[in-house]
Amino acid sequence: MKNKHFSNQQIKFIVILLASSIILAFLILVLIERMFFLPGGISYPFDSKNPRKTPKVFLEMKISTDQVPNSKILPVSIYLDTQGKKVDGVGIDILYDPNFLEIDASGIITESPELAKVIFPVKEAPQGELKFSLISSINRYFEGKGKIATLNFKVLQEGVTDLNFRFRPGATDDCNVVLYKKGIDILEEVKGGGEILLTYDKKEI
């Protein structure tokens, strides 16, 4: 049997064909992964009406709805989730009804060593607005999620009232979260707050 010899041109053609097949197979695998797999190995059919949601940087307000103790102090917790980004400043802007609630600078308690400095506490009593900022020390930053402040509101009377963040996407004069050493507001969402029922704990009176 005679040995079959390939010409240089045939060998070159075979090499190009093999290389093209490998590249095509790789592109198909990448496409399949992007269409059918989520992080964590969960497989599901791709739905163009429900695209993957990117986690947002947010502030959250958690209010105790229990009865107000005899001290008439309502603690409100403020949480921050930076989604892994580094930040060195947070601006808090809260709206409340001054007929029901009262607060001043002494009622602001910092909860994070990375955001331990309180600056520009402002109380605008006529319309019920509390504005202040938490900032970090030089070369320090907050990253991740956690409780950053507690606000101790004094309850003036029982009843139904509202307590909310003041936030408009893109605005710079309300709630904001500042990217570390960049001075860019990256806050995308606020959560919590709303209508609350204030009642005194009759057992303590």
For residue 4, give the 3-state DSSP assignment. coil
CB 117 within 8 A of CB 70: no
Please determine, for residue 119, whether its predicted confidence score (pLDDT) is greater than 70. Answer: yes
Whole-structure pTM value: 0.71
Query: Can you tell me the distance from the alpha carbon of 155 to that of 102, in angstroms, rounded to the nearest whole number?
Result: 7
- For residue 62, what pLDDT is reported? 95
Alpha carbon dihedral 122, 123, 127, 128, in 10-degree steps, equals 120
CB 87 within 8 A of CB 180: yes
R_g of the chain, CA atoms, integer Å: 28
- For residue 84, what pLDDT is reported? 96
pLDDT digits (tens, 9 = 90+) for 186-196: 999 999 999 99
For residue 127, give the 3-state DSSP assignment. coil
Strands 101-102 and 58-63: unpaired
pLDDT digits (tens, 9 = 90+) for 47-96: 555 556 789 999 999 987 666 777 789 999 999 999 999 999 999 999 99
Q: Which residues contact 204 (CB under 8 A, 6 or more apart)?
A: 69, 70
Tokens encoding 45: 């059919």
Residue 48: φ, ψ to 5°: -70, -20
The residue count for the chain: 205
